[in-house]
Amino acid sequence: MTATYRVMGIVNVTPDSFSDGGSFLDPDAAVAHACALSAQGADILDIGGESTRPGAEPVSADEELRRVLPVLEGITGAGVDAQISIDTSKASVARAAIAAGARIVNDVSALRADPEMAELIADSNTECCLMHMLGEPRTMQQAGGPQYKDVVDDVKAFLEQRLEFAVRAGVHEQRIMLDPGIGFGKTTAHNLELLARLGELTALGRPLVVGTSRKTFIGRIVADLAGEAEPLAADRRLPGTIATNVLALERGASVFRVHDVAPVRDALAVAAATLSGRWTARAGTTQTS
């Protein structure tokens, strides 16, 4: 087995994201953060101007553009090696972002929110990521909880349908990634089932994106183990994030969307060397325990 992967660093230019909302609203701070993630080894920088956390309220295209365009322009001007991704479901935002240097459109609606998005992606020949989400951010975790007949089968059928839709719209299949949407309209049990059976989604034939970074279900699992009533705070969820990403790599995922690039990348490097069995020391290094 040869384990290859890309790490996608998260740059939230929002006041209300669940983990780092407000930290990078200033464009200079966001650009500096993006450059730091690139230096840590991020292959992709995912820039988002609208929170998609549970209960998040939508923002206008104008406001989203006001937040992300200076950051995109700053990153492009800084000459980072990483690809730039725009995290948006609005074609107008994606169009401006592509003009500013974005080469990936990360659409959590899987091309359902804006009828112009599929044509834009096809015409611009950008990569795209299509994600499963039950409902929308405002409603996806409502009281009563999300329901599935079989979460893996249901997510797989949805992603297959959206992949077919995108290809029919002219998007080249080789430029499409798929994301099962961990935490987007799923309970903790659903998230764990998806991670455990992630290999079943590889049958769709496209790179799988996994975004578990700092998510509540990780904090809830660890808190339950410790007998704590509330989930661990987001800044205490790195070990669980690493565990879920290593497991996802073993099960066939190849793109990992994370806040903490350096430690996750180190963990994936060790896991990939183990899975491939083909690690070779660089010349001049000493192989010891």
Could you list the active site residues? 215, 257
Burial of 262 (0-12, 13-18, 19+ CB in 10 A): middle
Burial 195-219 (b: 16+ CB within 10 A, else e): bebbeebeeeebbbbbbbbbbbbbb
Question: Among candidates 166, 191, 187, 161, which has minimal Cα distance to 176?
Answer: 166
Q: Is the C-alpha dihedral spanning 259, 261, 263, 267 positive or negative?
A: positive
Q: Which of 130, 212, 215 is nearest to 167 (CA)?
A: 130
Give me the DSSP letters along 110-142.
Answer: TT-S-TTHHHHHHHHT-EEEEE--SS-TTTTT-
Give which of 276, 211, 271 is closest to 246, Cα–Cα: 271
CA–CA separation, 15 vs 258, rounded Å? 18
Rg (CA), the chain: 18
DSSP state of 66: H
Round to whole Å and give the CA distance between 96 and 120.
11
